[in-house]
Copies of this chain bind each other. A is one copy, B any other.
Amino acid sequence: MISGLKTGLKKLKEAGFKLTPQRRVIFEVLESSDKHMSAEEIHKRVKERYPRAGLATTYRTLDLLKELGLVTNINLGEEHKHYELAGKCHYHLVCLRCGDVIEFGSNFFGKIEKGLSKDHGFEVTDQNVEFHGYCSKCRQKGEKIDDLACGYEG
């Protein structure tokens, strides 16, 4: 994980931003959940801890945290933007039929990341990997699983 509470807030401050209670709480909410949440969901939880928090602040803070690389947002399936702490390195299987999202871990990507740094001068802070397709429940019998989209050989 890229940042615990202390590390994250420290980074905020180092970048010249104020440490407001709202920002603390939003960060805490993100930390306390192990799954991605919509802005609305995050705001709901923020208000439980800090009732006078405004929705706009949640949006503003999420944007700010995203720009600082502390938070990442993904957009799986039909739903709206979801946010989570950056650096969690989740990989998602998104079913196009039922919308189910299966998470899985992988350690294939470190090598690629380092290559990116070299080839493009790009500093990776987070990654979002989605495989779209059909889950076992939704797959129709007779569909060949070998019939994959990309011709890559790996």
Contacts and interface: CB of A to CB of B under 8 A. Distances in A.
Query: What is the size category of the interface that chain A forms with chain B?
Result: 35 or more
Contact of A109 (B75, B114, B135, B152): B152
A148 B145 CA distance: 35
Nearest to A81: B75
Interface of A: 2, 63, 66-69, 72-75, 78, 81, 86-87, 89, 93, 95-97, 102, 104, 106-114, 116-117, 119-136, 139, 143, 145-154
Nearest to A92: B128
B149 A2 contact: yes
Contacts of A95: 122
Contacts of A150: 87, 89, 109-110, 113, 127
A131 B135 contact: no
